[in-house]
Structure 1
Amino acid sequence: MRKLLLSLSLLLSQEGIAEPAALRFSVSESWSMPLMHLENHQPTSGILLEIFDSLARQVGRQAEYHVMPRLRIQGALESADIDVRCYIAKSWLGDLRGDYAWSVPILVQRDLLVAAPLTVGPYPEQFDNEVIGTVTGYNYPALQHLFDSHRLVREDARNQEQVLRMLVAGRYNYAISNQLAMDWINRELPPEQRLKVVATVSEQDAACLVRKDPALPVQQILDTLQAMRKSGEIQRIVERYAPRR
């Protein structure tokens, strides 16, 4: 009887100090390096992976990654299947259903109109049925009038890297790319083959959206991201993936 009571007491004490639930991050299938590299449907490296891992560690949680199509992510947040969604801007989202908190900006999303190195052609307002590489599910409000008037014709690929690889291969003459992805591709190309910037399409701060839930350390998450930015930790992570000049 004494042994039974001791065993029950030990069991209850172990349950009382159970590990807190994992912090669940959404990962978009459309991300590519240097933001995130996916292998067997799980992240293995990249700027965002390092930020997420550090954030989870500093708030005392295990990081858990849910990889899904970009268009499903907001629904997963609203249904409480994930806790944190990062690398988004308020202007990218419609009406939000649920209670959320925004973090400070963690990165800058700089979208560029880029061209193959030998392309000598028209600039945006002179386009006429020009095929341009784009990412499936992404909207480009600054260029929407050109899509509507058929001056530009979208050719979608699954992620940003595929878009740029097809541009390098000559599939089309122009593409839309974020600055980080273009620099990542150019780092492996000789100077004469590197992609060039035609124009800046848009530039926006990208932050994290945290689901408000009593079971989550929401304020600690927000404070930690702010501290990571203020201390320069996030910038140092970004610089590790920057091309060598």
Structure 2
Amino acid sequence: MLILGIVTSSAQARIEDRILRVALLPDNHLPYYSAMENRDGIVRELLELIRSRADISFESHYYPRNRLLKKLDTGDLDLIPLTSSHWHEEKQNVYFTRPFAEHCNVLLFRKGQSLPVYHPRDLYGQVVGTVRDYGYQELDDYFRTGLITRINLRNEQQVFDMLVKRRYDVAIAGETQARYLINHYYQDTIETGPTIDCVPVSMMFRAQKEASGKLVDRILQQLMTEGEIQRLLRIWR
């Protein structure tokens, strides 16, 4: 009985090790998190590509962005699927995959009302619509000093809506999200401006899941080589 119990516990541990608890945001962050058009969004589709090549399952857990690191620390999460380079500075004792994509932000304007922006000083005195808790490497110092004022919204769709309603004259959003939203909902009302803050994107695993992280890293590199990640991003533009 004791031997059977040990074997059963060991088998259960192996099963649990193949199930990774992944962080998804509770809000609608199109096109990364979405169930529209009978698809699940970029993140879930990428996880499905990984699952199809490895003996791994992903269990979705929904938390706001500002709670993700704490949930990783407490062991409630195993994986945060999209992290940029500044997360490397915030978080130690975790495993990061090699970059598998690039994230850029773009400035947004109402259609036909773009401003010439070549340097942050061109935005001095402006009120800028941003997503709450997001960092903007090229502009954060100016936000802190008050030379540029940011208004924090819940998600990108709110940023777009408030720009259309003239709450401010310029906003910032992720380029992939911005192009998706413009193509589907805001073609006649919003246009993109300069690109800023391009950073590499990695997945972050808690230290206890480093072995799984290394497996996922190898698969991500294969998907990049085969053009699958680029194809997925193109689909959701």
Residues 1:163 and 2:163 are matched in the alignment: no
Aligned twin of 1:231: 226
Residues 1:32 and 2:29 are matched in the alignment: yes
Whose helix fraction is larger, Structure 1's or Structure 2's? 2
Deviation at 1:80, TM superposition (A): 1.8
In the superposition, relative to structure 1, how do residues 214 and 137 fare at CA in structure 2: closer, same or farther (>3 Å)? Answer: closer
CA–CA distance in 2 between the matches of 1:168 and 1:214? Answer: 44
CA–CA distance in 1 between the matches of 2:83 and 2:138? Answer: 17
In the superposition, relative to structure 1, how do residues 31 and 111 fare at CA in structure 2: closer, same or farther (>3 Å)? Answer: farther
1:116 aligned residue (110, 114, 128): 110
Structure number with greater Rg is: 1
Contact 2:46-2:229 at 8 Å conserved across structures: yes
Deviation at 1:62, TM superposition (A): 2.1
Q: Point out where structure 1 has 5 or more consecutive residues left out of the alignment.
A: none
Deviant stretches of 4+, over 4 Å:
10-19, 189-192
In the superposition, relative to structure 1, how do residues 190 and 76 fare at CA in structure 2: closer, same or farther (>3 Å)? Answer: closer
TM-score normalised by length of structure 2: 0.82
The AA in structure 2 aligned to 1:46 is G
TM-score normalised by length of structure 1: 0.80
In the superposition, relative to structure 1, how do residues 149 and 13 fare at CA in structure 2: closer, same or farther (>3 Å)? Answer: closer
CA–CA distance in 1 between the matches of 2:128 and 2:167? Answer: 9
2:129 aligned residue (128, 133, 139): 133
CA–CA distance in 2 between the matches of 1:191 and 1:88? Answer: 29
Q: Point out where structure 2 has 5 or more consecutive residues left out of the alignment.
A: none
Contact 1:112-1:176 at 8 Å conserved across structures: yes
Aligned twin of 2:79: 84
In the superposition, relative to structure 1, how do residues 174 and 80 fare at CA in structure 2: closer, same or farther (>3 Å)? Answer: same
Aligned twin of 1:46: 41
